[in-house]
Structure 1
Amino acid sequence: MTIRTLAWGILLAATTSVWSPPAHADAVEPKVAATSIKVEHVRIESAKPYAEVRAALEKLVPRFDDRIRVLLQYGEIGRVKVELEKVQGSAGLVIFSVAPHGDWVQILGQKQNAAQFVTGNVLIATQMTSRNAAAGLYAPLRIMLYETAAGTAVLKYDRPSDLFGQYGNREVTEIAGSLDRKIFDVLVTAAH
């Protein structure tokens, strides 16, 4: 049994634990910790077809403009903030990428409409990560959209304030609360 396999087994067996492999004279071993958190998982079922809900979501939440990164590289911070506000529009969110999970089931000889949207708000994310860098694990957020057997759409996501609340930082959790509202509102609107 390898140390990695042993470590994984110990992590799975404990709700909250810290494990350090045996020390070697020539190396400092990493400490591994695992903590369970409670997360509210939100499911929004639409009576509308998948394609219609996807089109509505993509209309409500624009794509991120990578040219904004060039402004950042040149230190044009004022312009970066203006462009971020502009691109996020009224939803206050952008789509950074779309992972077409449904396309991949073709490997199994199947077809499915399903996509994961990596979505967020750069200005909100930086407020959280500046207070706790680990918050970057959940910024940006994931939204899953898929088609049911009946041909309707389902949207799923994990509530941001629960994901970010695990860090025990009141400011980070409050900031994430604004994402709770933004994500919920835009998804219900797309599903309606």
Structure 2
Amino acid sequence: MPETIAHLVNRLVIDSDAPFDDLRNRFESLVPAMDFAELTEQIESGDLAQVQRYTADHAPHSFATFWTLDPTPMMRLVGHTTRAITYMMGNNVIVETMYRHHPGVMLYAPLRVEIYEDTEGAVHLSIDQPSSKFDSFGDARIAQVGAQLDDKLAALLRMLGLPVPVELVHIALPDGKATP
């Protein structure tokens, strides 16, 4: 029997003072593309420590880009002047710490990020808050990694010179858990 799991996801839209190309270039320098063929070679080596080192080297700020979609050329064909680019970013080592508890987490990993211009020319970065998606699995271990991803996303936003939404700020509790 099909199961429906209702949950609320926070879509974060962060305004940027930087022009589109500048924000895009900064993002791509901080979240570099990971070569799937090279990653596959590392995995096929059967050496988990080697895969972890490779990932750390290619995701220097916790995240790497696994895929990019630039719809701008198609949209220009039909008269749109705004630009947008979407990235799938993540970390294969981090996601494994959730996957071991529920393989369904791959629905939300890698994370989807968009940089876009609105019709007034303002530039934005938009992403669904990781913890608000991973909380839907009802597993505290997965939720904890989701909160860690919030923290890593907040750090990335700071490196990009963007404001950090309050939803990404977690306070550590004495029992080692975190609360938004």
AA at the equivalent of 1:41:
R
**Whole-Å separation in 2 of the counterparts to 1:135 and 1:125:** 8
Matched, 1:182 2:172: no
- Counterpart of 1:140 (choices 110, 115, 119) is 110
Flag the 1:118–1:133 CA change in 2: closer, same or farther, 3 A.
Answer: same
Structure whose CA Rg is larger: 1
TM-score (normalised: structure 1): 0.78
Whether the 8 Å CA contact 2:82–2:118 is kept in 1: the answer is no
- Which residue of the partner structure matches residue 48 of structure 1? 18
Greater Cα offset, 34-43 or 44-53: 34-43
- 1:146–1:154 distance in 2 versus 1, CA, 3 Å: same
1:87-122 CA-to-partner distances (Å, cap 9, x unmatched) read 111x11101111112232134233431011100111
Give the Cα–Cα distance (whole angstroms) in 1 for the partners of residues 10 and 82 of structure 2.
26
Correspondences of 1:162-177 after superposition (within 5 Å): 162-177=132-147
Aligned to 2:74: 104
Structure 1 CA distance for aligned equivalents of residues 73 and 140 of structure 2: 40
* Structure 1 runs not aligned, ≥5 long: 1-30
Match of 1:83 among 54, 62, 74: 54
Q: Distance in 1 between matches of 2:57 and 2:134?
A: 26
Q: Aligned pairs, how many?
A: 161
1:161–1:177 contact (8 Å) kept in structure 2: yes
Shift of the 103–190 alpha-carbon distance from structure 1 to 2, 3 Å rule, reads farther
% identity of equivalent residues:
24
Q: Which deviates the most, 49-58 or 181-190?
A: 181-190
CA deviations over 1:10-51 (Å, ceiling 9, x no partner): xxxxxxxxxxxxxxxxxxxxx322222111111110111111
TM-score by length of 2: 0.83
**Offset of 1:60 from its aligned partner?**
1.1
- Structure 2 Cα separation of the partners of residues 191 and 151 of structure 1: 19
Aligned equivalent of 1:62, options 6, 27, 32: 32
CA distance in 2, matches of 1:121, 1:191: 22
CA RMSD, Structure 1 to Structure 2 (Å): 1.5
Q: Any conservation in 1 of the 2:5–2:136 contact (CA below 8 Å)? A: no
Cross-structure match for 2:171: none
Unaligned runs of 5+ residues in structure 2 are 163-180
